[in-house]
Amino acid sequence: MVSEDRSTAKPSTGRRGPKPIEPAVRFWRMVNKTATCWEWTGHCKRNGYGEFDRGYAHRASWKLNTGQDPAAQVLHKCDNRKCVRIDHLFLGSIADNMRDKQLKGRAANKLTPEEVSEIRSSQGTQEDIGLRYDVDRTTIGRIIRRQTWSHVS
Question: Which positions lie near Zn ion, rule CB under 5 A?
Answer: 37, 78, 80, 83, 85, 88
Three-state DSSP state, 106: coil
Least Å distance, CB 25 to Zn ion, is 22
Candidates 36, 41, 38, 89; CA nearest to 66 is 89
Q: Sign of the C-alpha dihedral, residues 70, 71, 76, 80?
A: positive
Query: Closer to Zn ion at the Cβ: 77 or 99?
Result: 77
Which ranges in 13-77 belong to alpha helices (H)?
23-29, 57-66
Query: Closer to Zn ion at the Cβ: 37 or 129?
Result: 37
Query: Closer to Zn ion at the Cβ: 60 or 83?
Result: 83
Least Å distance, CB 34 to Zn ion, is 9
Least Å distance, CB 103 to Zn ion, is 27
